[in-house]
Structure 1
Amino acid sequence: MSRYKLLAHWLRPTSLAVSLLLASVCSAQTSVLIDFGNDDSYRGLSATGADTNGNYWTSVWSGLFYSDVVNTTNTPTRIDVGYDATSPNGGTDSYNGPAGPTSELTLNTDVIFTEVDAEALGSLGGSNEAAFDYYVSSRFQVQQLDPKKIYEFRLFGSHRYNDVGPVPDDVTRYTIYSNDAYTNVVATADLEIGTVDGHNQDMVAVLTDIQGPTTANNTFYLGFDGANGGFGYLNAMEIREIGDAPIPTEIIVSDFNNRPLGGTFDSWSSATITPGADALRVEATGSGGGFGVQQLPNASLTNTIELDVTIDSGTSTGVVALLEDADGTQYRYRFLDLAVGDHLLSFPLTPIDQTIGNNMSDIAVPGTVAGLDLTDITAFQIHVESAMDDSYDISFNNFRLYQATAVTGDYNGDGVVNLADYTVWRNNLGGDAETAFAAGTRDPSETGPISTADFTYWKSRFGSNSAAVAGLSSASVPEPAAIWLMAGVACLLAKVGPAAAKPRLR
């Protein structure tokens, strides 16, 4: 058996949520292809027109924000992509990438020397221009993803001569975060992007089973760097929709049905407010309060509220949701700086000291009893935050209160049993399950401190997003000591071509 076939056999897919997989030919799933580096970037080229697979790309660089990027059929989507101002390096280049040494004056001829295994890379291998150039150790945002969808991110990085510089680093680590401080990890994976004088031609990092974010503008924050402290590289990325998120049970659905405003909102005294069958539209200047809903039944910590909002105009417009109980205690969830467009705002009824993505939950008015009494909610209100002299036009389309169904084995309560739950188990081994695990997620037969039995149960449920038993064999998930090895570096040895020109960092 050849080295290629042997390693490909070893890497046969497992049910790990974060893994490195041998890329296969892209199926007919909805996806967006991003080329990092374009005609405006240093030694970069744009991917234009349909590639050899018939797919279309969006080529990006750090100088612009890209709204409504196209999918592979060249149809605009709601997804936006842009670089973060906090990127530590953000440089772009093509030198010592898949085409070897390149020159700013000969890019159109240099690109023909791009050497990748197009079949192995699948949808990421159809464009030489996309594989040709790369970004170095950067941060960027992907906005307007759908919280009701499950996504897969496939990332291709390639660069040779990584043995030079103060920190030699052949491995790039790609990480998705839920916050703009780049501290809350959603998923991460490593990829060997090159060797001393060879470059990655046929492997991608895959981060899969990721539910769309519920942060402001439905944003994920992506960062990449060298796994060992050196530079990291990213040439191309695919964002693929792979399914629907679990649907919770609805308790309340309201489309506002011509309801009048509740309460007194003096700052909206001059606003134009239009209650309608499908939305409550507010045209105003400055900040103001909004719609009130009385007596949310059966509210509990397992509830989630969703609010559909359309911003037709306004700058730095924010939406605030406020809950109040019978003794006057209020919780406030803030979604700030919403861009023009549609937004799905989602927040669980969590304690006040937690942060919901970028949306701070805090106490507005302390009550006579500490904490919000979720069994006695007297009002749910929505407000608009804006500058005092800013005019805006906003429609509240509907809100929903969901009773989430606990998924056993899902120790962090995010709706799916994945590696994040292993982290909860590992960090709380020997501790109290009632405080460490999300309610209803432990094996009902287990009592006492968190133990290895909880790991065994998590392993048997891996990949599940419902209360039903996942039915996975115990061989599907490795033992604890092997978890991070499997999520680490695993790639084919790249073919080593003729020596390139004098080594260069990027």
Structure 2
Amino acid sequence: MNWLMQMNGRAARRLGGLLGAMVVFAGALGPANAATQQIILNDAWSEHDPFNLGEGIQTLSDQSSTAFTSAHSGAVSDLGDRPRVYQEFTGVDTSQVGQKLTASFDVQFHNILSEGDTQFRFGYGDRTTNQGLVPIMIDIGPTSGSAWRMRYDDSISATENDTPINFQPGNYNSFLSASGTFGSRGDNPTGEFSGSLGVDTSITHTFTTTVERVERNVDTSFPPDGVADAVVGGWYFTVTWTNDAPDAETLFLDVNNADFARFDVESGLGVYPEDFFNRNGRIENIDTLGFLMFNNQPFADGAGSYTISNFIVEYDDGVSVDGDYNGDGSVDAADYTVWRDTLGSTTDLAADGDGNSVIDQADYDVWRSNYGGAPSVGATTSAAPEPCSAVLTSLGGWLLACRRGRKRSTRGNG
């Protein structure tokens, strides 16, 4: 490469310009804009903590957009006084099928929790309708008596007797209180008492949850005849729960566990029928999320704390991307691999870009024309090029020509 180091200033500038063009061109061939985006949260969390004449019992520390520690100094006397930790953000549209939010986080309790009616809850709110969704609700206690559930929240703000009202800014006295269970199971990742929340303070628990707007084709006839005769809209929830204890498993819960879920005739997947149960209509603008320790005295000794970390929430607008065969929101080499590995299939149709029920050359063309958002370059039967291969080829040819030209110049001066 000494010849490259000896290039004159004009050649070096030409190479620099071509490298710059290569970078720009590489950007043009980069992944397409994904349908999924991270929701940007504040570094400071808000709290609803009105007990003791507004002084509260909760102290927040170590705050960032992905973490906080909540310390409770004692007990409260009323449901509406139980401290909530929440964030308000610019609302995201949840009115269309396929739109969803996915949240993941770790939680560690630094003190033993009270058994009985103590629950750890996470959920979302729609301030427009003063309603919410509570995908995570974990009882504290022995495995045989514990449960984790999903619920609908019929109010964020409520009157003193818990009557729902219109949302009142700053009033979160009913947020995550929840009603109507629509999914439950009764175990924890280890199957042992120590694997429950707030029992072993050395254990960190990890949760991931998705709430997605869906429509299901259901059979409403009685007795059922297996034929879909109605479209039911609502929510499909999923939750996974694991921890870092030895031999811990990853548990899964979804709406299919609900007694009153409606089920799609073909897929068997359930839906929480929002139109049947929601008091104030559909939740179509999620703009709040938060946590709640549900008990007047959640910690066994009266005082205690817990830490949320690695918190992230993403929003998927439900817009499909042509050529995105692996469903990650971008069109790239991984999607080509899906097409190549299923070429000729009439059963695995993940890469059926043109919808003709067979994986063929036309589906490659769909991928190629949408790769990185680049314009269609027409059909081709050659293997898909690596990003920037054309630029690298041009650069290689230019460098070779440059080197030969320098050699001729050197001979002429010799």
User: For this structure pair, what is the TM-score category when the shorter chain's length is used for normalisation?
Assistant: 0.3 to 0.5
Bigger relative contact order, structure 1 or 2 (CA pairs below 8 A, ≥6 apart): 2
Give 1 or 2: higher helix fraction: 2
TM-score normalised by structure 2 residue count: 0.33
TM-score normalised by structure 1 residue count: 0.29
